[in-house]
Structure 1
Amino acid sequence: MNQVFHVWKYDSYSQRAAVRAALAQDPSWISEYISKALPMLTSQHNEVNYLVPWSRLKSPPQQGGVYELASFQMRPGGPAVWGSAFQASMLSHDFPGYGKLLGAFHSEFGLLNRVHVLWWFQSADHRAEFRHKAHTDARVVAAVRSSVVHLDSQKNQLMFPCPFSPMK
């Protein structure tokens, strides 16, 4: 609870560095955001991720709804080892509509071998309903069973966009 999760898209590391340097010099950013956010901050974690090759960043089908961020700590070896099985597992949920896959990301900096998958659902109740249906779908169960051998841990978070979020 009481976590904020930002996703920032950059075209390159150079662009990221330039944007961050400009923000550090922007009086509005400092007075209207950072100065207000810092007293509420107890910890911060940064990662640099990239879209996995088979994933495309998508927009939600409509405004509203809820998001689920599923974070997977994979065993070492990278996508060359577990990529195909993981892709099959995620697409087995996306294809029949058990969730709307918005993007799958692999860590480059931060905790390595981590994959984040962002899903969209109309509501938390729809998410629960679709996930229960997926657990009885033999195709989904088989795909997950093939992928789970590469998994160390998984954490799922239900997220609600802030009013200023472009993902609202």
Structure 2
Amino acid sequence: MLALRGSLRRLSQALVHQVCSSFTTGHRQQEGTLYEFCTYYLKPANVEEFLYNFKKNVHLRTAHSELVGYWTVGFGGRINTVFHIWKYDNFAHRAAVYKALAKDEDWQEQFLIPNLPLIDKQESEITYLVPWCKIGTPPKEGVYELATFQMKPGGPALWGNAFKRAVNAHVELGYSTLVGVFHTEYGALNRVHVLWWNESADSRAAGRHWSHEDPRVVAAVRESVSYLESQQNTFLIPTSFSPLK
């Protein structure tokens, strides 16, 4: 009896460790690389001026850290908005970059100070790329879709596997090209962003239509949807200076 209790206790401890490990670290890459999602809501009359100024001075900003992509919102969200993703090795790297930017007189004088009045509001989220996904490179220039899923509380330990199967069903059947899957660490929790590439808005619409009629996709999505609270899809147009085109 004592031996049985000891075995059960060890099994229980192992299961607790497994669940906790999945919950605390299972949603991110092991090396700690993080991605900052920045959204700037611009004043309508100043969008072109802001983008022109950033294009002219983008080299001053990318001298400090890596720009993954820079887009304007086409539809599915608030227009007159720019969305950009920055990559950092870890939180210490991000802190060092922002400290350096505060001392960079060229960046401050040529871009930041003149353009702050053009921004109505800013938002920032810190995300991790999920461990089963790497940043994809689109085959050519196109358009992007950011699908944002607000999942039920509980984290990836609860809904991670079902969500992965739903994403992979779309990828494996070729209905869209996956760029990355990101899980929010700071911002709204239990939020997952999936960034897709398509050749055009019409090719995206066709792929979505076909996927809705594919029983393999429908079955995978049906499982994931049971953990879903809300979803928003935003159509993104890459700027001329965006690394992801």
TM-score interval for Structure 1 and Structure 2 normalised by the shorter chain = over 0.9
Which residue is equivalent to 1:133? Answer: 210
**Within 5 Å, which residues of 2 pair with 1:42-121?**
42-62=120-140, 64-121=141-198
Larger Rg: 2
Of residues 83, 96, 103, the one that matches 1:25 is 103
Displacement of 1:103 in angstroms is 0.5
> Whose helix proportion is higher, 1 or 2?
2
Relative to the length of structure 1, the TM-score reads 0.96
Calculate percent identity across the aligned residue pairs: 54
Which residue is equivalent to 1:156? Answer: 233
Relative to the length of structure 2, the TM-score reads 0.67
> What is the CA–CA distance in structure 2 between the aligned matches of 1:134 and 1:36, rounded to whole Å?
46
- Closer/same/farther in 2, CA of residues 36 and 68 from structure 1, 3 Å limit: farther
Residue deviations 1:93-117 (CA, integer Å, cap 9, x gap): 1111110001000000111111000
Name the Cα RMSD after superposition. Answer: 0.9
> What is the CA–CA distance in structure 2 between the aligned matches of 1:51 and 1:101, rounded to whole Å?
12
> What is the CA–CA distance in structure 1 between the aligned matches of 2:167 and 2:110, rounded to whole Å?
39
How many residue pairs align between the two structures? 167
Residue deviations 1:115-157 (CA, integer Å, cap 9, x gap): 0000000011100010100000000001000000111100100
What 5-or-longer segments of structure 2 have no aligned partner? 1-78
Q: Which amino acid in 1 is paired with 2:166?
A: S
Displacement of 1:161 in angstroms is 0.9
- Is residue 147 of structure 1 aligned with residue 230 of structure 2? no
> What is the CA–CA distance in structure 1 between the aligned matches of 2:163 and 2:111, rounded to whole Å?
38
Displacement of 1:41 in angstroms is 1.1
Q: Which amino acid in 2 is paired with 1:48?
A: I
Residue deviations 1:47-76 (CA, integer Å, cap 9, x gap): 1000112111111122x2000000000111
What 5-or-longer segments of structure 1 have no aligned partner? none
Q: Which amino acid in 2 is paired with 1:43?
A: K
Of residues 64, 87, 91, the one that matches 1:13 is 91
> Whose strand proportion is higher, 1 or 2?
2
Residue deviations 1:14-66 (CA, integer Å, cap 9, x gap): 1011111111111221123212431221111111000112111111122x200
Of residues 113, 133, 136, the one that matches 1:35 is 113
